[in-house]
Amino acid sequence: MLKEQRYRFLVQLYKNKIYSYSRYMLKNKMDADDVTQEVMIRIWNNMDKFNLFAAKTWIMKTTNNLCIDYLRRKTIQLKREIEIDEIFEETFATKKPGDNPLHLTHTNMMVAKVKCAIEKIPEDLRSIFILYEINGCKYREISQTLDIPLNTVKVYLLRARKYLQQELKSYETEEIV
Amino acid sequence: MKQKKSFEINKKLKRKIISVAYGDANPLDKIYIYWLARRNHAIKAELNNYQRTAQAVHSLEEECPEELLINLKLQNVPIPRTKSSIATDFISILVNKPVASAFVAITLIVAVAFSVILNRPVQKNYTSQEVQRANEQASYAIQLIGNILNETTEKLEKEILKEHVAKPIDQGIEIVNKLLKKE
């Protein structure tokens, strides 16, 4: 009973972080779904092995390890095909009445561009970028999750931010051309 | 005529611009960069670009689809509750934000301590004369009550019971006796 309650609490707290991390690392909704489910199953099976207050590192580490396994297995070509369709859906599918269409389109386009650009960041920089910027993890947590020194986290994060900006600039250049 | 100094965006300055744009710079760097941005268009443009990107990035958290959680049942794993409750939110604050929970705890302790101090009963010290006077007044009041009760008893025994209860009963019995004798 207590185990179930603890499990429910942990899943409620971390489900979006697990899914976001998987989604941006794997660039693929299906793989992200698989990884997310697998992580939740592992959390249930290992409930006795960690305490509630130190769960975040364990969960993100497990998610990262599974994502790396998936990346090694899957081919890049297949991921790219699915990626383009999903971005199209996300950019143009949602529409709320009363929204300024011009502003909405511009925002959606910007978000879609940023998502595309994030997926192009090299894997080692991308993991840190997602954990820090999207999942809101601290430097120390990222260092423990990925087993890398604290200074390396800061350096990689800076590189990822620069890389992302560079990618967005090249998008703008392509659009003009 | 004032001439605006031209600033070269070196690596160190760029690092500060990026930190400020993403919101994790220290206050001194923030002030410095914003001050520079007001004086230099190139720095302002760079800062704006990074800020736009940072804004888009920070809005990117994906929501986990509910069907994923429902499918867990097939693996004999309990289905997590999809809606958060007040209890879950409270515990998540305790776990994730110890500063917030410590602040709330300290505020509660201070509030309770203040209310105990402010509502302490005031003890008055009476003089011996006041105590004696109070005793005299109390005994006078008890005496009055005693007198009233005695008077009431006397009246009940001597007047009410005798005149209004016993006498009519006697008269009734006499009439009955007379009637019986005549027969």
Q: Do A110 and B57 touch (CB under 8 A)?
A: no
Q: Kindly indicate the confidence band of residue B48, based on its pLDDT and cuts at 50, 70 and 90.
A: very high
Q: Residues of B numbered 14-33 whose beta carbons fall under 8 angstroms of chain A's beta carbons: which are they?
A: 14-15, 18, 22
| Chain A residues closer than 8 Å to B62 by CB | 16, 19-20, 23-24
Q: Kindly report, residue by residue over A51-95, the tens digit of the pLDDT.
A: 777 788 999 999 999 999 988 887 655 555 555 445 444 444 444
Beta-carbon contacts below 8 Å between A and B = 100
Q: How far is A73 from chain B (nearest CA, A)?
A: 22
As for the ipTM of the complex, it is: 0.78
Q: CA-based angle B16:A137:A67, to the nearest 5?
A: 115
**Position B74 pLDDT exceeds 70:** no
How close does chain A come to B86, measured CA to CA in Å? 12
Between the CA of residue B84 and those of A3, A15, A54, B91, what are the distances in Å? Answer: 18, 12, 21, 11
**pLDDT at position A79:** 52
Question: To which residue do tokens 């760097």 refer?
Answer: B29
The CA distance from A19 to B175, in Å, is 110
What is the per-residue pLDDT across B145-158, written as a single tens digit (0 to 9) for each? 999 899 899 888 88
From residue A65, give the alpha-carbon distance in Å to each of A26, A68, A95, A127, B8: 12, 5, 36, 11, 42
Q: How many CB atoms lie within 10 A of CB A37?
A: 21
Quote the tokens at residue B73. 């049942």
Residue A15: closest C-alpha in chain B? B64
Asked if residue A39 lies in contact with residue A145, where contact means CB atoms within 8 angstroms, the answer is no
What is the SS3 assignment for B80-100? CCCCCCHHHHHHHHHHHCHHH
Rounded Cα distance between A13 and A3, Å, is 15
Q: Between chains, do B57 and A114 touch, taking CB under 8 Å as contact?
A: yes
Q: In A, which residues are within 8 Å of B20 by CB distance?
A: none
